[in-house]
Structure 1
Amino acid sequence: MPRRPTVSIEEFSVSGPEAGPYGITAGPDGAVWFTMVHHGRIGRVTPDGATGSHALDPASGGPSTITAGPDGALWFTEFRGHRIGRITTAGEVTSFPLPTPDAGPFGIVAGPDGALWFTEASADRIGRITTDGRVTEFPLPVSGAFPSGIAAGRDDRLWFTMNQANAIGAIAPDGAVDVHPLPTPDAAPVGIAAGADGAMWFVEIGAGRIGRITPDGTIDEFALPDCGSRPHAIAAGTDGGCWFTEWGANRVGRITPDGEIDEYDLPTPASEPHGIVQGPDGAIWTALENGTIARLTAR
């Protein structure tokens, strides 16, 4: 049987609990970057714990998820401001309004075509923005779907969760969309990531499960020990597994390609883990809504 990883956890205070660290990504500068959803700021923390942040335009409205772009900058969604934002590693910010009013952009990822792809949760659309700010929007064939997380697959499609439609979607570069309903009712998928096994892995916040979908649409689901743990975000690790946050249980978990699950309690009670990513240093980093960024180092 494979050895269960031993994990050490460090926490870095980056804000007060009212700021709400939320989305997180690995930056091109060796640091980890994150959103402060309630304070309208983008933060940065280095592996040695040095922190800083940059204020956004007051109209930014809830910076949610963030990703590294192909241009060396960080790109993020402004859920309540209905814009896509870009910040350089020097802190220079640019915002791009979306054509659709009240679109509610949420998930964002760099695509295989050199553009950024994002979900429009309130408009049932998938968006694409080039690094010079040109936006294209693709309507989904399902209404009220609330598309949420999005990730680039190895098949050159973008895969996304449809939180209220209880399905996983895949969109091709030409805008063609496939929809795959989930077996479990009211699973409410949120985060999604490309696994090392060529499949897409996602979390079911409503059902307390981790899901896996292959490029041909075959779905497997793995129940967590605590069905009320409310898994929120997921990220692939170079160890071959996927790491995920359990927002409702104050834990971070890891699942192997064959479905073996390990869980790790966070040191601070009620820290509310949200986004998660493997950092440039090889550790797993997660944003905690209590104003902390945690680093998990597996041995």
Structure 2
Amino acid sequence: MIRSCALLVLVYCFHHTIIIGQHIETIAGNGVNASQDGPIETASLANPFGVVRGPDGDLWFCEYDGHKVRKITLDGKIVTIVGTGKAGYVGDGSQASKAQLNKPHEIRFDQQGILFIADMSNHAVRKVDLTSGVITTVAGTGIGGFSGDGGPAIAAQLKDPHSIQFGPNGDLYIADVGNHRIRRIDIGTGIISTFAGNGSQGATPDGGSFTEVPLLTPRTIDFDAEGHMWVALKKANQIFRLDLENGTLHHVAGTGELGFDGNGGNARLATLSGPKGLAIAPNGDVFIADTESHSIRRIDAKTGTIDVVAGTGSQFSGSDGDPLQCGLGRPHGVFVDTDGSILIGDSENHKIRVLRWH
């Protein structure tokens, strides 16, 4: 059952501003760590990570513990589309429902409606043609490592790819976390190359050339309306914006220290806690799944300030209603929906929630 409780007043509490009418709702999951299909009221989820709105209008998500890609249909059912539920790396060239995934982290759709999966522990990116239902690998050999730049992505090695996103020209970008790089696949040729990061694990300098600087665990990526890439560095606890026109990257949020301070102030002076999800709204606001602070935070595009929009800073399975009193459990997925609401993969609470403004 969808549960909601709208806030009717503007409250300022502990340096967090609540927007009039802001509320959070559980739209799927009963809190039990199980991957069971069925009506949305009774179906269970197994550690949902990435969540997106599909071209069919359904809400799609991947499960880290369930080793599946599933969706919530418009008529209120949860069904499995990819994966048997057993961790593995089999099934290429056959029906996706009979294939095995291994801890998928994120999913995206291309302009043709083909589903792409960051199949993390298989060190691969896979795709599913939803017309035929067939799954294939588009990048990675299944063995973690770093190789293959300048050649076919299918023959290259990745290491723990966590995040994928399509750029303005349709190329596929991969957050190749274990290699401390962002890789790019030319959509026309299938050739893979390193787009950003030199593979080292040092501090990232502000204003440097993004092809030459260290990127310490680039965990999640997204693009804004102007075509700039945003990347969250999990272990560095920072967020950078990559200017694709001049080849430089710029520090946007996080001091580099692990923490949950600075809300209501300059995002550059705030502390983050292992950010693992990013979503850019059409107006430029940046939503962060700040996983280890169990919260969703927002950078205001106009002011550069950061604040909390959901979560208390502590791990808990909170009740629906006031989003700042609703405890989250290591959220990984965050997505700006077509109506402006924020979809959240509340991972260790085994729920998908939605944050709305009215």
Q: TM (normalized to structure 1)?
A: 0.72
Aligned mates of 2:292, 2:344 — CA distance in 1 = 21
Q: Could you say what the CA RMSD is over the residues aligned between the two structures, in angstroms?
A: 3.8
Letter in 1 for 2:47: G
State the Cα distance separating 1:151 from its structure 2 match: 0.8
Is the counterpart of residue 94 in structure 1 residue 164 in structure 2? no
CA contact (8 A) 2:292 2:330 kept: no
Alignment of 1:176-195 (within 5 A): 176-180=247-251, 182-183=254-255, 185-186=257-258, 187=272, 188-195=274-281
State the Cα distance separating 1:159 from its structure 2 match: 0.7
String of CA shifts for 1:18-58, please: whole Å, max 9, x gaps.
84322111100111111122333211211322222134492
- Secondary structure of 1:183 counterpart: coil
String of CA shifts for 1:179-218, please: whole Å, max 9, x gaps.
4162362223322222343243434445668352759xx8
Aligned mates of 2:281, 2:246 — CA distance in 1 = 23
Letter in 1 for 2:57: G
Q: Which has the higher helix share?
A: 2
Is the counterpart of residue 210 in structure 1 residue 297 in structure 2? yes
Q: 2:126 aligns with which of 72, 78, 85?
A: 85
C-alpha spacing 1:3/1:225, structure 2 compared with 1 (3 Å) = closer
Q: 1:146 aligns with which of 205, 217, 221?
A: 217
Alignment of 1:99-114 (within 5 A): 99=148, 101-114=157-170
Is the counterpart of residue 249 in structure 1 residue 316 in structure 2? yes
Q: 1:36 aligns with which of 27, 52, 63?
A: 63
C-alpha spacing 1:20/1:201, structure 2 compared with 1 (3 Å) = closer
C-alpha spacing 1:50/1:201, structure 2 compared with 1 (3 Å) = closer
C-alpha spacing 1:224/1:297, structure 2 compared with 1 (3 Å) = closer
Letter in 2 for 1:23: G
Aligned mates of 2:181, 2:81 — CA distance in 1 = 29
CA contact (8 A) 1:210 1:224 kept: yes
Letter in 2 for 1:250: S
Aligned mates of 2:277, 2:320 — CA distance in 1 = 14
Extract unaligned runs of 5+ from structure 1.
Answer: 230-247, 255-260
Which is greater in Rg? 2
Is the counterpart of residue 265 in structure 1 residue 326 in structure 2? yes
Alignment of 1:53-68 (within 5 A): 53-56=80-83, 58-59=88-89, 60-68=101-109
Q: Identity across aligned pairs (percent)?
A: 21
Aligned to 1:122: 178
- Secondary structure of 1:113 counterpart: coil
- Secondary structure of 1:263 counterpart: coil
Q: TM (normalized to structure 2)?
A: 0.62
C-alpha spacing 1:158/1:206, structure 2 compared with 1 (3 Å) = same
CA contact (8 A) 1:32 1:280 kept: no
- Secondary structure of 1:94 counterpart: strand
Letter in 2 for 1:28: P
